[in-house]
Amino acid sequence: MKLNKILILWILALFMGLSSCSSDDSEIDPTDDVTGQPDPDPEPQPDNPEPIDLSAYDNGSRVMMQAFYWDVEPRFEWWTNLTDKVGGWADAGINRLWLPVATKGQSGGYSMGYDVSDYYDFGNYNQHGTTETRFGSREELEELISTAHQNDVEVIADIVINHNSGGGLEYNPYRGYETYTLFDEEHGNASGMFNRNYEYFYPNSVSQYDPGSLFYAESNLDHHREYVQDWLWKKDNSVAKYYKNVMGFDGWRFDYVLGFEPWVVKAWLDEVGGFSVAELWDGRASVLRDYVNETGSGAFDFATFYKLEEGLDRFEDLNTLDQDMLWKTHPEKAVTFTANHDTEKDSNEDNFIKSSNKMKAYAYILTHPGYPTIFYSDYENTDFQDEIKNLIEIHNSIATGDTEILYIDEDEYVMKRAGTGTNPGLILYISISNSTKRRSVSSNWNNVTLMDYSGNSTYNPTSDENGAVTIEAPSNGYSIWSITE
Q: Let me know if the fold of 24-54+404-483 is the same as that of 57-400.
A: no
3-state secondary structure of 116: strand
Task: Indicate the annotated binding residues for Ca(2+).
Answer: 162, 230, 236
**CB count in 10 Å sphere of residue 159:** 27
Domain ranges of the chain: 24-54+404-483, 57-400
pLDDT at site 36: 35
d(CA 330, CA 238): 31
Task: Indicate the annotated binding residues.
Answer: 162, 230, 236
Three-state SS annotation for 445-474: CCCCEEEECCCCCCCCCECCCCCEEEEEEC
Catalytic residue among 118, 121, 154, 255: 255
71 closest CA partner among 112, 129, 100: 112
d(CA 103, CA 127): 11
Buried b (16+ CB within 10 A) or exposed e, 357-392: bbbbbbbbbbbbbbbbbbbbbbbeeeebeebbbbbb
pTM equals 0.91
279 is catalytic: yes
pLDDT at site 216: 79
Counting other chains too, the contacts that 231-238 makes at CB distance below 8 Å and 24 or more residues apart are 231/193, 231/194, 232/161, 232/194, 232/268, 233/267, 233/268, 233/271, 233/272, 234/271, 237/193
Element (H, E) at 8: helix 2-20
pLDDT at site 464: 98
d(CA 471, CA 437): 8
Contact 268, 277 (CB under 8 A): no
Does the domain spanning 24-54+404-483 belong to CATH 2.60.40.1180? yes
d(CA 81, CA 276): 25
Catalytic residue among 32, 142, 185, 279: 279
369 closest CA partner among 403, 338, 398: 403
pLDDT at site 215: 74
Q: Per-residue pLDDT tens for 188-232?
A: 999 999 999 999 999 999 988 766 666 778 999 999 999 999 999
Q: Average pLDDT for consecutive 10-residue bins of the chain (485 residues)?
A: 39 38 43 37 68 98 98 98 98 98 98 98 98 98 98 98 96 96 98 98 87 78 96 98 98 96 98 98 98 98 98 98 98 98 89 96 99 98 98 98 98 98 98 98 98 98 98 98 97
Contact 265, 258 (CB under 8 A): no
Q: Classify the phi-psi angles of 271: left when phi > 0, otherwise alpha if psi is within -120 to 50, otherwise beta.
A: alpha
pLDDT at site 43: 57
pLDDT at site 27: 54
27 is catalytic: no
**Domain boundaries 57-400, CATH class:** alpha beta
82 closest CA partner among 170, 21, 147: 147
Helical spans, DSSP H, in 46-154: 78-92, 138-150
Element (H, E) at 66: strand 63-66
Counts for the chain of helices (H) and strands (E), in that order: 12, 19
Contact 478, 356 (CB under 8 A): no
